[in-house]
């Protein structure tokens, strides 16, 4: 069974997604000469991702990704990854090209699971759990009163934990404490509160915010520093009285290894729409050696979330699964079936492959050239 085609889909929905502007998404479909199809997604600029996939081959070290794998055995996922690495080594492999590789990688895992008639988690290891404790991510308000109402909405939704961040955090110490106080008031004392620091702090202010958040029993403090401030994260983790987590912007094991081996985080975030499953498994292996827990970062669509659930089902050291409560027309209407949330847990998909499929009508409606 050979890879016959690699197709890309740029999607746009109505509305905004916070700091990310218009709703957008990028999907990849890998088809075989036997008619089997797998789906993946990537989280970056959709048009740049498309170029990385569809660019023609110039030579054996400068190629688009599709040209590198068409004709290869469809079930040889490791071979496909190495082929993409090799043929893009002179084509800015890191960055957006690496993220585009993640979408193809996820599609190949989906395809392999469908061919075997098994969920992806059965292909990557023995499942340790059939359900995952989760939290819901939701937005902050413009005022403490609106923020408290948003936290109350997450509580009333039934989520056992809520994460909030980005604007307007970072305006000042008093303003930040008012936000955290409002969040704790709205969420209640019996729900875990997570705060996303959105990369706006320097080391000194992040340490001070972590001390303040510990007084409000914040469960973890996420991404307060710039992504590559390794020494800053090391200092922060040593002084903070609550767990520090980061890693969502990284696209491969080399990037994430800096956080793990540098003793920068208690919990490492893996965004499978940026790493793919193949790299995520390597990151998880490294994290286990260093006693670092793994969680997903999922802001995009349910292909990412499904892949994350398969990964977290088999890992020995995990924490809370991220699910999105922010409105997203693409996520709501494009993919099925929907995941089951019950009693504070998300049920791991058990269908062949990743377990979600785009609706053909919705895919056509949201696709743009």
SS3 107: helix
Structure tokens that stand for 85 in this block: 């690495």
Banded model confidence at residue 2, pLDDT cuts 50, 70, 90: very high
Question: Running DSSP on this structure, what letter comes out for residue 95?
Answer: I
Where is the domain boundary, 68, 83, 117? 117
Does residue 206 surpass a pLDDT of 80? yes
Residues 104 and 130 reside in one and the same domain = no
Instruction: Name the pTM for this structure.
Output: 0.96
Averaged pLDDT, 186-213: 97
Structure tokens that stand for 310 in this block: 């398969």
Q: Which residues contact 33 (CB under 8 A, 6 or more apart)?
A: 1, 2, 4
Banded model confidence at residue 125, pLDDT cuts 50, 70, 90: very high
Banded model confidence at residue 20, pLDDT cuts 50, 70, 90: low
CATH number for the domain that contains residue 326: 3.20.20.120
Q: What was the pLDDT predicted at 88?
A: 93
Peptide bond just before 341 cis, omega within 30 deg: no
Residues 128 and 113 reside in one and the same domain = no
**Are 40 and 102 within 8 A, CB to CB?**
yes
CA distances 257 to 86, 304, 318, 352, Å, are: 21, 21, 17, 31
Q: 306 — phi, psi (to 5°)?
A: -60, -45
State how many domains the chain has.
2
Banded model confidence at residue 331, pLDDT cuts 50, 70, 90: very high
Structure tokens that stand for 157 in this block: 């939704």
Residues 178 and 306 reside in one and the same domain = yes
Residues 218 and 275 reside in one and the same domain = yes
Question: Running DSSP on this structure, what letter comes out for residue 104?
Answer: H
pLDDT per position as a tens digit, 89-106:
987 667 899 999 999 999
Burial degree of 368 (CB within 10 A; 0-12, 13-18, 19+): exposed
Where is the domain boundary, 68, 97, 117? 117
Residues 181 and 321 reside in one and the same domain = yes
Averaged pLDDT, 42-58: 96
Residues 154 and 281 reside in one and the same domain = yes
Distance in angstroms (rounded) separating the CA atoms of residues 176 and 169:
6
Residues 87 and 142 reside in one and the same domain = no
Does residue 19 surpass a pLDDT of 70? no
> Closest by alpha carbon to 93, among 241, 201, 238, 252?
252
Residues 233 and 162 reside in one and the same domain = yes
Residues 213 and 358 reside in one and the same domain = yes
Where is the domain boundary, 117, 134, 154? 117
Does residue 37 surpass a pLDDT of 80? yes
Q: Which residues contact 356 (CB under 8 A, 6 or more apart)?
A: 39, 302, 303, 306, 335, 336, 337, 349
CATH number for the domain that contains residue 31: 3.30.390.10
Residues 132 and 219 reside in one and the same domain = yes
Residues 269 and 240 reside in one and the same domain = yes
Residues 182 and 301 reside in one and the same domain = yes
SS3 368: strand
> Closest by alpha carbon to 185, among 135, 149, 209, 143?
149
Question: Running DSSP on this structure, what letter comes out for residue 59?
Answer: B
Domain that holds residue 55: 3-117
> Closest by alpha carbon to 303, among 51, 162, 45, 105?
105
């Amino acid at each position: 069974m050979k890879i016959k085609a690699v197709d890309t889909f740029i999607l746009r929905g109505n509305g905004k997604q916070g700091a990310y502007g218009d709703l957008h998404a990028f999907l990849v479909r890998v088809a075989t000469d036997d008619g089997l199809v797998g789906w993946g997604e990537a989280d970056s600029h959709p048009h740049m991702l498309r170029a990385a996939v569809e660019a023609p081959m110039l030579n054996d070290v400068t190629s688009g990704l599709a040209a590198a794998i068409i004709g290869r055995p469809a079930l040889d996922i490791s071979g496909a990854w190495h082929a993409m690495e090799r043929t893009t080594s002179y084509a800015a492999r890191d960055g957006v090209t690496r993220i585009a590789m993640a979408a193809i990688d996820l599609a190949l895992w989906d395809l392999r699971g469908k061919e075997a008639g098994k969920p992806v988690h059965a292909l990557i290891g023995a499942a340790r759990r059939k359900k995952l404790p989760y939290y819901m991510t939701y937005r902050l308000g413009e005022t403490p009163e609106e923020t408290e109402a948003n936290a109350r909405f997450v509580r009333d939704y039934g989520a056992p934990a809520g994460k909030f961040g980005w604007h307007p955090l970072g305006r000042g110490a008093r303003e930040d404490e008012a936000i955290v106080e409002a969040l704790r008031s709205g969420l209640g004392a019996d729900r875990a509160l997570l705060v996303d620091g959105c990369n706006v702090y320097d080391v000194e202010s992040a340490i001070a915010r972590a001390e303040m958040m510990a007084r409000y029993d914040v469960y973890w403090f996420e991404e307060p520093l710039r992504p590559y401030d390794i020494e800053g994260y090391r200092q922060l983790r040593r002084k903070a009285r609550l767990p520090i987590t980061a890693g969502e912007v990284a696209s491969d094991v080399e990037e994430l290894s800096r956080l793990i081996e540098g003793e920068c985080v208690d919990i490492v975030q893996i965004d499978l729409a940026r790493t793919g499953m193949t790299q995520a498994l390597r990151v998880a292996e490294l994290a286990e050696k260093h006693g670092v827990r793994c969680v997903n970062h999922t802001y995009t669509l349910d292909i990412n979330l499904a892949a994350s659930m398969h990964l977290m089902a088999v890992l020995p050291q995990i924490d809370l699964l991220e699910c999105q409560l922010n409105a997203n027309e693409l996520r709501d209407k494009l993919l099925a079936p929907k995941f089951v949330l019950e009693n504070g847990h998300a049920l791991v998909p058990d269908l062949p492959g990743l377990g979600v499929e785009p609706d053909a009508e919705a895919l056509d409606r949201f696709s743009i050239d």
